[in-house]
């Protein structure tokens, strides 16, 4: 009896904890409400199954408790029950996976009018690169990384000269403008994560991963690294400012291009 009550209390406690929990999602600030929907579908399916299974256990523990003289019946197989369990489990798993496939397709299908922003992770800081007037990012490779070329931009690629480089400062994005995020890492695996955007992806050294989103709310949002990347992982923070188009243009004009950052170095070399 005590075990049955304890099991029922686990279910009750889980529901109460869910209702009273202070750890709710941050208010969303991007177009990816779909991500919340898929999490909610999984939450409800697994939640209902959890409650049903544990309550069924409580019922069985109580109903079939030990009584003097009663003996358990032995039923090694039940084809009917196995069919029901297989079909029910199959539907539940499909209901959790199928929406994810649809959302994933949208997540990596970038709209034509998206601006490209590159995020570069390294132990333990974030850097950003935005296209200059030509609207294109120059080629890059870790082999080009040097003190005056921290992101490894190909110095011979003309498209890279006007690339805007932001280091140790917040990234600014335009409200309502779709942005394609290119993700690079200079050392180990990192993960660019802004909880309010509901979008994140690992940054794998040696390759470029990407996704897109549209910022839908003005404000300053915290960037976290969502992949354990060494002793400084927890300090790998940054921020993203979402602002109106006019403010964003002003900010962009104040940033330094790759060519400007290298200019003083070249001047020294000439002396």
* Distance of closest approach, residue 227 Cβ to Cu ion, in angstroms: 6
* Distance of closest approach, residue 229 Cβ to Cu ion, in angstroms: 3
What's the CA gap between 154 and 152, in Å, rounded?
6
Per CB under 5 A, which of residues 232..261 are in contact with Cu ion? 236
Among 35, 179, 229, 261, binds Cu ion (CB under 5 A): 229
Is 200 a residue that touches Cu ion (CB under 5 A)?
A: no
Looking at 77-85, 158-166, 214-222, 228-236, which segment touches Cu ion (CB under 5 A)? 228-236
Is 186 a residue that touches Cu ion (CB under 5 A)?
A: no
* Distance of closest approach, residue 223 Cβ to Cu ion, in angstroms: 10
Number of residues that bind Cu ion (CB under 5 A): 4
Please say which residue, 82 or 187, places its beta carbon nearer to Cu ion: 187
Q: What is the CA radius of gyration of the chain?
A: 27
* Distance of closest approach, residue 44 Cβ to Cu ion, in angstroms: 33
Please say which residue, 186 or 225, places its beta carbon nearer to Cu ion: 225
Is 129 a residue that touches Cu ion (CB under 5 A)?
A: no
Among 129, 190, 248, 262, binds Cu ion (CB under 5 A): 190
- CA 194: distance to chain centroid? 7
Please say which residue, 153 or 225, places its beta carbon nearer to Cu ion: 225
Is 183 a residue that touches Cu ion (CB under 5 A)?
A: no
Spatial contact of 181 and 30, defined as CB atoms under 8 Å apart:
no
* Distance of closest approach, residue 160 Cβ to Cu ion, in angstroms: 25
Give the neighbor-by-neighbor strand order of the sheet with 164-167: 164-167, 125-130, 115-122, 179-185, 209-213
Please say which residue, 7 or 236, places its beta carbon nearer to Cu ion: 236
For residue 130, report the phi and psi dihedrals to the nearest 5 degrees: -120, 150
* Distance of closest approach, residue 126 Cβ to Cu ion, in angstroms: 9
DSSP string, 107-162: HT---TTPEEEEEEEETTEEEEEE--TTS-PPPB-GGG-BTTBTT-B-TT-GGGTT
What's the CA gap between 254 and 158, in Å, rounded?
21
For Cα atoms 104, 107, 108, give the angle at the middle one, nearest 5 degrees.
95
User: At 207, is the secondary structure helix, strand, or coil?
Assistant: coil
Spatial contact of 243 and 218, defined as CB atoms under 8 Å apart:
yes
Please say which residue, 13 or 232, places its beta carbon nearer to Cu ion: 232
The footprint of Cu ion (CB under 5 A) covers 190, 225, 229, 236
């Amino acid at each position: 009896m005590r075990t049955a009550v304890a099991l029922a209390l686990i279910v009750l406690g889980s529901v109460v904890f869910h209702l009273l929990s202070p750890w709710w999602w941050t208010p969303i600030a991007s177009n990816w409400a779909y991500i919340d929907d898929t999490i909610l579908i999984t939450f409800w399916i697994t939640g209902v199954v959890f409650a049903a299974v544990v309550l069924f256990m409580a019922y069985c523990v109580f109903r079939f408790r030990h009584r003097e003289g009663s003996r358990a019946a032995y039923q090694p197989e039940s084809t009917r029950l196995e069919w029901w369990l297989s079909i029910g489990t199959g539907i539940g798993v499909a209901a959790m996976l199928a929406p994810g496939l649809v959302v994933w397709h949208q997540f990596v299908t970038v709209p034509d009018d998206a601006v490209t922003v590159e995020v570069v992770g390294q132990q333990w800081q974030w850097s950003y690169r935005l296209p200059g007037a030509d609207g294109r990012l120059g080629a890059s490779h870790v082999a080009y990384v040097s003190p005056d070329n921290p992101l490894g931009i190909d110095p011979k690629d003309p498209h890279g000269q006007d690339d805007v480089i932001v280091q140790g400062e917040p990234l600014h994005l335009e409200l309502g403008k779709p942005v394609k995020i290119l993700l690079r890492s200079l050392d180990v695996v990192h993960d660019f994560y802004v909880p309010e955007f509901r979008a994140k992806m690992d940054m794998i050294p040696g390759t470029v991963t990407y996704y897109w989103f549209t910022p839908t709310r003005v404000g300053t949002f915290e960037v976290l690294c969502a992949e354990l990347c060494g002793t400084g992982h927890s300090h790998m923070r940054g921020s993203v400012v979402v602002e109106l188009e006019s403010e964003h243009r002003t900010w962009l004009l104040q940033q330094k291009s790759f060519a400007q950052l290298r200019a003083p170095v070249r001047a020294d070399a000439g002396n």
